[in-house]
A and B are shown apart, each in its own frame.
Chain A
Amino acid sequence: MKILDVTDLSVKSGTGLALVSNVSFSLEPGARLGLIGESGSGKSLTALAIMGLLPTELNVSGSVLLSDGKTASQQILDAPEKVLNQIRGAVVSIVFQEPLTALDPLMKTGKQLAEPLRRWHGLKGATLQAEIFNALDEVRIGNPKRIADSYPYEISGGERQRAAIAMALACKPALLIADEPTTALDVTVQAEVLALLDTVVASRGMSLLFISHDLAVVSRITDSVLVLKDGEVVEAGSLQNILNEPKHPYTRELVSSAKELDAALTISARSGGDHDISNS
């Protein structure tokens, strides 16, 4: 059964401006979809809609069905808060773009990580502490104790984002949404975090919805791509098809600019060379 099934998702502003129009896509268990578009294309709003976290002044219509793969799907739109609280985190969780603002600035990182661990696994005391360190280890943080005892502003951007990923994973969701998770990081750190996401998503068998404006980044971690422009889906397909035979003019622009920028570089793909843009 599908983990995520989005049908005709539309988001309008309070004044009637269409921000997202009739977006439809779905995700099987373990599948990875990249959502590509520039700022204002509606990709982040789509992610928030899936989580049921859209600002209240926006009007949303359509259907978003979420499932953890074992139980029946749940309609997200217009679902009551109590239902959503059970789904958010356990079935789907999200990593945001800027970890500095996404984390509580006045709370130590370890304590913030403890929150989902306590909620979803009922851990307490020493077991909780141990699990916090485990979680930080899993995201390849060098010194878990130092990170856990530090405030977000005291650690580096890469460490912050890894901690945010750990928090998202702590709930053991079936679907992970990553909204531009590497955009705010330094280039060297980007590659590491991307690799981390790759490994972790694979080892847990999660589905991944990866949102980005950067085709090169998306091509390293996803199998299929959805191209958004001005709130509408202009093209969808497997990564191979999009890269080799882009049909929509906008997609062609994206692909050719990505190829130009990376012409001098060889982008190693997850399966070793198949997704080398410069050779396509």
Chain B
Amino acid sequence: MSSKSPPIVNYIVRRLIFLVFSLFLASISLFVLLRILPGDPANALLSVGATPEQIAAAQHKVGSDLPLLQQFGKWIGQLLSFQMGDSLISNAPVGREILSRLSVTVPLTLTAFAIAVALAIPFGFIAAYKAKTWYGSILNSVSQLGMAVPVFWVGVILVFVFALRLRVLPAGGFPPGGWGDLAGAIRALSLPVITIVLVMSASLIRYVRSATLDVLNSDYLRTSRALGSSFMEAMWRHGLRNAASPVISILGIELATTFVGAVVVESVFALPGLGSFLVRGISQHDYPVVQGVLFISTLAVLTIGFLADLIQRFIDPRLSRSLTGQIS
């Protein structure tokens, strides 16, 4: 006798398969773009007028003397054994460097995101609930402003005010001992976190405000109140879940955006994170580095999207979904 697996398990499995498939597709694209477009990646290591022996040596080092498919196979093989090759410039393993730099980028991203969400929920609610008051309108305008501001500019201004003028926080850098120097690390990450929070909370406030407005104007809220519940009761029982659904649907994308913000902010504050690693790799044409960091980023973005989608489906079972889980 066969038992039917519940639809939710089916859905998770489908999405998981799709996740792996997307990852594979992304790796192929990444690989192709980095190898095909600029011509031979070995050129990065060579100067004009190189001898054939030098060219051959460079090609061998980069691996471009092998047929394309074999190169790709090698890359996939490396990935599956959790390696990403060595840097062309420093010859150090890329994977290890990425890991160590993650210890800066991940806390930066997650802390900033958590604080931004924590701020956005109450302020977004106020912006919606008190939309018609003067402070509600100001809140709305300020959040619109926040979405127009370049995150690195905010960083520069904060450095100007707090680090250089007031001298309360460091203008950049990360303690050489890493997280061993906890106080130093926290101080080093303070302004970067604040920078990202200022920008990200602006757009999150907009989303929370919009979702809350929808709930405030909804018929079901009215029904609940018509049957005797107080406003707060009705919001708690009905409003919360209904407002959470659209907000969670964009949280995945916002987290990815926060990550990108962190990448940029690392340059503002000279932090030894993934972002600065990527930027350096690009300007030095260090393809294994670029490939490795972008692959990790893609993995992170896709996984976050997958998880966010699962959470949303848990909250909101009625949405009809396509293969990717997008609402049609």
Alpha-carbon separation in the docked complex, A82 to B237 (Å) = 18
Whether a CB of chain A sits under 8 angstroms from the CB of B24 is no
Q: Is B35 an interface residue (CB 8 A)?
A: no
**Is the CB–CB distance between B222 and A102 below 8 Å?**
yes
Q: Which of B132, B224, B317 contacts A115 (CB 8 A)?
A: B224
Contacts of B132 in A (CB 8 A): 57
| B229-283 contacts to A (CB < 8 Å) | 229-231, 237-238, 241-242, 245
CB distance from B252 to the nearest CB of A (A): 19
- CB-CB under 8 A for A104 and B228, given A57-B132, A96-B219: no
Question: For the complex, would chain B's binding face be called helix, strand, loop or mixed by DSSP majority?
Answer: helix
Q: Determine the chain B residues whose CB is within 8 A of the CB of A51 once the complex forms.
A: 226
Give residues of chain A (57-99) contacting chain B, Cβ–Cβ below 8 Å.
57, 81-82, 85-86, 88-90, 93-94, 96, 98
CB <8 Å contact, A115 and B237:
yes
List residues of B (199-243) whose CB comes within 8 Å of A's CBs: 218-220, 222-231, 237-238, 241-242
Closest to A164 in B: B223
> From A106, which residue of chain B is reached at the shortest CB distance?
B241
A93: B residues at CB distance < 8 A: 226-227
Give the docked Cα–Cα distance between A85 and B229 (Å): 6
Interface check B66, CB cutoff 8 A: no
A116 touches B223 (CB 8 A): no
A106 touches B229 (CB 8 A): no
Q: Which of B220, B315, B317 contacts A104 (CB 8 A)?
A: B220
Question: In the complex, are the beta carbons of A88 and B227 less than 8 A apart?
Answer: yes
B230 contact set on A, CB distance < 8 A: 81-82, 85
B316 in the interface (beta carbon within 8 A):
yes
Residue in A53, A94, A106 whose CB lies within 8 Å of B245: A106
Across the interface, A103 reaches (CB within 8 A) one of B220, B225, B226, B241, namely B220
What residues of B have a CB within 8 angstroms of the CB of A167 in the complex? Answer: 223, 227
* Closest chain A residue, CB of each to CB of B223: A102
Q: Does B318 contact A (CB under 8 A)?
A: yes
| Interface flag for A233 (CB, 8 Å) | no
Knowing A106-B241, A153-B318, the reply to whether A101 touches B226 (Cβ < 8 A) is no
Q: Are the CB atoms of B229 and A105 closer together than 8 Å?
A: no
CA distance A12 to B294 in the complex (A): 60
Pairwise interchain contact A171-B315, C-beta atoms closer than 8 A: no
Q: Give the docked Cα–Cα distance between A53 and B221 (Å).
A: 11
Most buried by B among A81, A106, A170: A106
Assembly CA distance A148 to B226 (angstroms): 21
CA distance A233 to B228 in the complex (A): 29
Question: For the complex, is A107 an interface residue (Cβ under 8 Å from B)?
Answer: yes
Among the interface residues A88, A94, A98, which one has the most CB atoms of the partner chain B within 10 A?
A: A88
Complex alpha-carbon distance, A94 and B220, angstroms: 12
As a 0/1 sequence over residues 98 to 137 of chain A, the CB contacts with chain B under 8 angstroms (1 = contact) are 1001111111000000011001100000000000000000
Whether the Cβ atoms of A105 and B220 lie closer than 8 Å is: yes
Nearest first, the 4 closest Cβ-Cβ pairs linking A and B are: A89-B228, A101-B219, A104-B220, A89-B227
Name 23 interchain pairs, CB-CB below 8 A, sorted by A.
Answer: A53-B222, A81-B230, A81-B231, A82-B230, A85-B228, A88-B228, A89-B226, A93-B226, A96-B222, A101-B218, A102-B222, A103-B220, A103-B223, A105-B242, A106-B316, A106-B318, A115-B229, A115-B237, A119-B228, A151-B317, A164-B223, A167-B223, A168-B226
Apart from A89-B227, A96-B223, what 19 extra A-B contacts exist at CB < 8 Å?
A53-B222, A85-B228, A86-B228, A88-B225, A88-B227, A89-B228, A96-B222, A102-B219, A103-B220, A104-B223, A104-B238, A104-B241, A105-B220, A105-B318, A106-B241, A164-B223, A167-B227, A168-B226, A171-B227
